[in-house]
Structure formats: C-alpha cells, structure tokens
Amino acid sequence: MTNIQRLSPAVASALSASESAARRIFFEDIYPAVDGGRFPVKRIAGEDVGVWADIFRDGHDVLAATLCWRRHDDPHWQSTPMQLHVNDRWHGTFRPATPGRYVYALVAWTDAFATWQRDYRLKRDAGLDVATECLVACRLLEQLKPADEATAGRIRQALADFDRTASGDVFLDETLADAVRRLDPRPDLSWSALFPLVAERPRARAGAWYELFPRSQSPEPGRHGTLDDVIARVPDIAALGFDVLYLTPIHPIGRKNRKGRNNALTAGPNDPGSPYAIGSEAGGHDALHPELGLIDDFRRLVAACRQHGLEIALDFAVQCSPDHPWLKEHPEWFRWQPDGTVKYAENPPKKYEDIVNPDLFCADRAALWSALRDVILFWHRLGVKIFRIDNPHTKPFPFWEWLIAEVQAVDPDVIFLSEAFTRPKLMKALAKLGFTQSYTYFTWRTSKGELTAYLQELTGYPEREYFRPNFFVNTPDINPYHLQSGEPWMFKSRVALAATLSSNYGIYSGFELLEHEPIPGREEYLDSEKYEIKSRDWTRPGNIRDYIAQLNRLRRENPALLQTADLRFALVDNDNVIGFIKESVQHDNAVAVAIALAPGRHEFWFHFGDLQIGPPAARTHVRFVENLVTGERRPIEWGGVRLVIDTGSDPALLFRCLP
C-alpha cells in the first residue's frame, strides 16, 4: 500500500479512497495453504489439487472466478473456472502434470451479464416490466468486440432474435452466455495472493525403507563388508518387499579421536570407528570408504537396486571428522577455540570428540553452502535420488530451504528425509522449509490414546498439507523400551502399526531378527553397530521376515495403505486394540485395520458407524469386510463386526472394505 503518511491530507485521502475502491472483491480462508502461503503445499504430480476459497464482494452482483496455476519458472498461466459451492465458498481443481514447483492463485471479477440474467429472471417471474432490462442487455452486447466471426455471429443472432420477438428470454441462452464470457471485460478484476505448491513423485508419499550398515553385510564373520556384499543382499531385501535401501554413511572414517566399541573414548587397533565421523586422508563427503570399494562398485549397486525395484537412499551428515580434508583446505569453515584447537561437536552432557561441525554461518558461508550442495549433486549424478539428512534441526533453517530448492531445481524427483527427533515445532518447520518426509514420535507412542492423538495431529489441517511422516520402528540410535524384551508379538505389532498407519515406514536391519539387547536403563543398543562390525545370520530361527514380507505385499496390493492423510479411527470397545480405516486417493480401495497393543487374546467390536467409502458421487456404507490374509468374508451387522485377535499368531487384522 502507498505510504500515505508523507502526503498532504487531501492527496492522501484521495489515494486511500482509490485503493479501497479497487479492493471490492475479497479472498478469504483459502485452502490449501501453509502459513498464508509462506510455505508450499505438498502434492503428488498427476493428481488433482482441490482449491477452496471464500470469494465475495459488496452488493448483490454476481461474481465469476477462475483458478490459475503455472510452474514457478513459467510466465504463462493456465486456468480453469471455479464453481460456487454454497455461502460464497468456491471450488476448483487443477492437476500439476509433472514433479516440480508451482504457484496457484484465484482471480475473480464482477460478471455483468450473469448479473443481468439473474435480475431479468427475477423481475420477469415477478410480473414486472422488463423493457428497460432488455435495453440494458442490448447495450451490453453491442459494446462487446468479438475477434472471431463465430462469436460475432452468435451475438448478432441474439440481437436479431430480440428485434424479431421483443422478448428478453432470447438473452438467457447458455451458448450466448458462453460467448459473452469469452469477451467479458471483467470489471473489478482482482487477484488473490500467490500460493506455492510442490508436486512430487509417488515415492515421496509412500515407501518401505530398509536401513543397513554396508560394512556389516559380509557373510564372513570378522571381515569388513564391501559394496559387493551389499549387492549380494539386494535380492533378499527386495523379496521382503522394501522400496528403499537406506545406507548409513559410506565415506572415509577419520582416525583422530576415533570411538571404540560402545562409544568408548579410546578405539582399539581394529575398531572401525563411527561412519558419522566423516573424512580422512582418503577423502571427504564425495569419497567412498576404501574398504567398501570403488565408485564403479557403487554404480553397480545402484544398477542392481534398480533391477530389483529398489532405490538407494544415502545418509547426508553435515559433519566432519578432525581428519576431513576441509579442515586443512578451508579452516575458515570451522570454529576454532582460543587455544587454536577446533571446536568439537557437543550435545551437553554428550560430547562427540570424533566429530566437528562446519560453521554454516561463517564469513565464507557462500562457498561452504555451495560445497555441500555439490556433494548432494555428486551422488545424484551417480543415480541417488533420496537423501536422509542427519540432525537437520542443528543446522540453520535458511541453509536447508536454499539447499533443497537448489537441488530440486536440478531434479525435482530428489527426496529429502529429515532425521530430526526434536521439539515438535522445529520438526514441522523443517517440513515447511522443504523436507519431503520427516521422522516422528511414533517410536515413543505406544498406547491407544497416544497413537490416536498423534495420528489425528499428523492427519489434521494444516499438518497434512506439508508434513509427511515416516514411521521408523527402530534406528541405530534408538532401541525403544517396548522392544527390549524381545517378544515376537510386540515386534509384529509395532511393524504392523508403522506399515499401516503411515504410508512411509522403515526398519533398521536386525529388527527382523528380533535384536533387542539394550544398554541397561537406556534406549540404546548394547554393542551398537555404530561402533563395530556386526555379523548376522539373516535366516536364523525365530525371525519375522515372512511377516514383514506379507505386510509389504499387502501394502502394495492396497493403495489405501499407501497414503496417510485419509485415516479415520473406528470405535473399538477394547482399550488394548486400536482400529482404523484408510481409503485410497482414488477412492477405489478401503482397508480396515485392527492391531493389538497388549499380549493375549482380545475380543472386540469394530464399529463402522456412518462411515462411507467409494467415489465422491457414489459414497456408500461398508457392507462386508474381507480378510486380506485368509480371504474370509464377514458381513457388517448393526454397523460393525465382532472380531478376535490372538497375538500368539498375529497381533494385526487387515480387511478390505466392500460396499
């Protein structure tokens, strides 16, 4: 708005009145939007985006509105008419065809001809004289300047019909109204603010992640694993039904202050150190740990994964060992103590002597930021399109917003997973800034009330528009208390919850073997793989590999489970059982899930109530449910169905809902 304080009172008053007159049309309560349009809404490319808004003006004139959109770097707008729903609420849809960044806006104006048509009908039907209204219609049509002969001919025909019949009804024809709309000068034309949107590929919304340490994949105990060993495991991981193979850092590991087993301050001569202490004389973030292999081996790993329907996700940790080449090449990128030593990473009372953090707000930050971006692009050129970012909440927000935008400008298919177990508002801010997916508090939500409240938060507005949860059941850092007893039913229950509540979920390798030994009194693994090489028999007795494979198969066969936002909790009359229904984006698949949260045999009533499924124009109540494992079909009676779960066999029941 003009700064009127510096103008004379008379001029300021005139300008203020002029500006106010130009704002006759209001846009309010625009959906979807994140923080009023400061941050982008997230959607999947190729799917419709529904946009709603309150659009109104003073008086009784009829409005027209369109929904406009374009790619953020395209100067040309596309548009589609919006429809009035009820009570000044308008609706329109558009479809971003390919992944990328878009903007959308609403445009509205006074529709003079539609206003005339409405007023004419009202007066005619009331038996009033409409002669003047007919003259007004003639003037409106005569003032139009059609460029094509077909439109000009339609208008001439309407005027001729009026001259012949003297009836204003000839101006109510819809083909005439369409012609007039194309020529309408659109008085009071107004634009809303612009709203950003990110359209992403389907993997952004749904995927099953399998995390492993490459150095632990050797079939020979005591031998450091190689990328060839990882390649040998790819068919097995794919057979379990996973979509993403997530590798912890694969870069050279520093020797200075290297940690020993169980995070000991002093490493033994054969201790491999933490892969998160990145960098040595062998290179930094764009190098491979020498014992893993060569860059050509990595290319072969990417190709093997692609052949088996898997994608590689790499860990990106913005941290260095004291041996990282950058400390010598760019000492200005780090913080140095008054005594001349570099400042080590800390999370009081924890101290990480084997890690130093670059100063992302140093004087030479432009070069540092570019170097980190180039690391991502280096691995992207080798075929990596998914990056899990370690501890992003400890780095500046502006850096992530810039980095993600820079990388996705090169390839909008790149996915970023935020590993931020921190305060809720920080986690949500990172999602707003561009992270595709986010770690969550699922790991610590165990009761029915906790899970229900948390999922209602994540699937509510506006969180569902920008925060995509990824439910990891465990991580190398977190051995949750509820898994530490090693009970198979609990492992099954937790992976079933993760795989069905969220469309993105993950396990850290060893989970399928029921690994659970903790450091006493702590949510950490004893003999943590972060500090030593593990050797495992991946088929040892007691594993739940088949159970996980079955869950992943059911996910792929039921698109309702491959989305998170459309989730409705069911009334279940047993506090030890949680129940919910999910429906696919296309409304062609609905799944009901019941999962036990305590051991034993549980009888309960799963109540559907008034819940309806199916396409928007043909919603209907659920009449039958079909067990996705056994194929048994049960009718819905009195609004629900009585079920039994025995955790000794399976703590979860999954049903297809049928009309």
Residues assigned a catalytic role = 390, 419
Q: How many CA atoms within 13 Å lie on the side-chain side of 560? A: 23
Q: How far apart are CA 531 and CA 266, in angstroms?
A: 11
Distance CA 368, CA 359 (A): 9
Q: Identify the CA nearest to 27 among candidates 65, 1, 60.
A: 65
DSSP H helical ranges for 459-584: 463-466, 488-501, 545-557
d(C-alpha 456, C-alpha 637), whole Å = 27
End-to-end CA distance of the chain: 56
The CA distance from 253 to 228, in Å, is: 19
Kindly give, in sequence order, each residue whose CB lies less than 8 Å from that of residue 366, ignoring residues fewer than 6 positions away: none
- Sign of the C-alpha dihedral, residues 229, 539, 212, 220? negative
Residue type, 566: D
Rounded to 5 degrees, what are φ and ψ at 99?
-60, 145
Contact 441, 428 (CB under 8 A): no
| Burial of residue 476, with CB atoms counted within 10 A of its CB: 0-12 exposed, 13-18 middle, 19 or more buried | buried
Q: Which of 511, 546, 499 is nearest to 652 (CA)?
A: 499
Sign, CA dihedral 473-440-612-557, equals negative
Which run of H or E residues covers position 356? strand 350-356
Q: Could you give the CA distance from residue 274 to residue 253 in angstroms, rounded to a whole number?
A: 7
